[in-house]
Amino acid sequence: AAGVIQSPRHLIKEKRETATLKCYPIPRHDTVYWYQQGPGQDPQFLISFYEKMQSDKGSIPDRFSAQQFSDYHSELNMSSLELGDSALYFCASSLLEGTFGYTFGSGTRLTVV
Amino acid sequence: KQEVTQIPAALSVPEGENLVLNCSFTDSAIYNLQWFRQDPGKGLTSLLLIQSSQREQTSGRLNASLDKSSGRSTLYIAASQPGDSATYLCAVALRETSGSRLTFGEGTQLTVNP
């Protein structure tokens, strides 16, 4: 069965650079979520999209932005990167805003040096 | 604001033991609750999903229960194996806002010793 695909798997950036993370949800899933997991921490909700519209916003820095495209894939854009942005970034998708649960991708490990 | 707590934070058991992981949440108006497994540095693997109208779900050696009124869920693992070693995360979805974001507990780190 198709899963949630995230790219790249690993990313190394320098401070003040920009990074773009991509997420391809399970086909026919209409909701995409982004989470950030710092070392030794639980995942923290950043932002979600339902049918290509932003549906909820969590603790996402103003330096970050995201969008969902017509083919339902989503991108998380992170600018002016800081050392503290180093984390695992997960994308999850669901049908009908979580009615049948959530499926997570394998994550993108971002390291800012 | 929903808060999710998991007890214990870490657990080490010998192979073959039955064990219970606990999850509590502060807002009982949940939409659903999901248990995940996470291996070090890896993604989240869904184990069991319990809808707010359900009391329990079972999959193989795993059984999860839900008591909304008391704000508690338990994950029961029968006949534990070394391959069960991982961090187990409980996550709760509320329907108070659109999107039904998940709020996670801090996890229970399980080690099953051969």
Name chain B contacts of A94, Cβ cutoff 8 Å.
Answer: 100
Candidates A5, A31, A42: best to mutate against B (most CBs of B within 10 A) is A42
Provide the pLDDT for residue A2.
Answer: 78
The residue length of chain A stands at: 113
User: Cβ A45–B101 below 8 Å, yes or no?
Assistant: yes
Provide the pLDDT for residue A98.
Answer: 79
- The SS3 call for residue A98 is coil
Q: Are strands B102-104 and B86-94 parallel, antiparallel or unpaired?
A: antiparallel
User: Alpha-carbon dihedral of residues B53, A93, A87, B81, nearest 10 degrees?
Assistant: 60
pLDDT, one tens digit per residue, over A72-87 is 999 999 999 999 999 9
C-alpha separations of A82 from A15, B35, B108 in Å: 5, 32, 29
Integer Cα distance of A96 and A100 in angstroms: 8
Candidates B37, B44, B45: best to mutate against A (most CBs of A within 10 A) is B44
User: Cβ A43–B104 below 8 Å, yes or no?
Assistant: yes
Phi, then psi, of B10 in degrees rounded to 5: -145, 150
Q: By the CB < 8 Å criterion, does B87 face chain A?
A: no
Give strand pairing partners of A72: none
Nearest chain A residue to B44 by CA distance is A104
User: Cβ B107–A88 below 8 Å, yes or no?
Assistant: no
Listing DSSP states for B32-89 in one string gives EEEEEEE-TT--EEEEEEEETT-SEEEETTEEEEEETTTTEEEEEE-S--GGG-EEEE
pLDDT, one tens digit per residue, over A57-110 is 998 999 999 999 999 999 999 999 999 999 999 999 998 777 888 999 999 999
Q: How many CA atoms lie within 13 A of B99 on its CB side?
A: 20
pLDDT digit string (tens) for chain B, length 114 residues: 889 999 999 999 999 999 999 999 998 888 899 999 999 989 999 999 999 999 999 999 999 999 999 999 999 999 999 999 999 999 999 875 556 789 999 999 999 999
- For residues B80 and B23, is the Cβ–Cβ distance under 8 A? no
pLDDT, one tens digit per residue, over A9-52 is 999 999 999 999 999 999 999 899 999 999 989 999 999 999 99
For residue B91, with 0-12 CB atoms within 10 Å meaning exposed, 13-18 middle and 19 or more buried, which class applies?
buried
User: Cβ A103–B105 below 8 Å, yes or no?
Assistant: no
